[in-house]
Amino acid sequence: MDATIKTFRAKHRYARITARKARLIADMIRGHSANEALEYVEFAPQRAAAFFKKVVQSAIANAAQDPDVNLNRLVIVDCRADEGPMLQNRLRWRPGPQGRAMPYAKKTSHLTVVVADPSVLETEEGQE
């Protein structure tokens, strides 16, 4: 009988922040309990902390839908800030080399938080 930990996920896609700046917060809260992570992002001075606060709260709310999960035991098992597509503003330009005009390319990122309750195990249905 193979048992795995039940996980709950939340994403914020196309967040208007660079992935490099968001990874500072992602690295800070990965591996901590969900309650500790909320405290960390509450007082972190980085702008990405506000983005991750909402994503962590959403992941906790997703876990609250399962009646077997104890919300006080949730742990952040995965926290990522992946690069998203560039928002290209073709109406505004900045100087480029040799007198050319280059459009502004604004970076976005996809923020992902996965929480799990290690005390709740999920068994595979085919193996009973």
CATH number of the domain within which 47 lies: 3.90.470.10
Residue 114 lies in a domain: yes
- Report residue 107's pLDDT band, with 50, 70 and 90 as the boundaries: very high
Per-residue pLDDT band for 127 (boundaries 50, 70, 90) equals: low
Nearest residue to 51 (alpha-carbon basis) of 41, 40, 39, 64 = 41
Which domain does 105 fall in, by range? 3-119
Q: How far is CA 59 from CA 35, 96, 119, 127, in A?
A: 12, 43, 17, 29
Position of tokens 């606060």? 53
In a domain, 127, yes or no: no
Report pLDDT for 122. Answer: 66
Angle at 36 between CA 34 and CA 38, to 5 degrees: 70
**What is residue 57's predicted lDDT score, i.e. its pLDDT?**
97
pLDDT number for residue 90: 75
Domains in the chain: how many in total? 1
Report the mean per-residue pLDDT for the chain: 90
Which of 18-27, 30-39, 48-57, 101-110 is the least confident region? 101-110
Output the pTM of the full model: 0.85
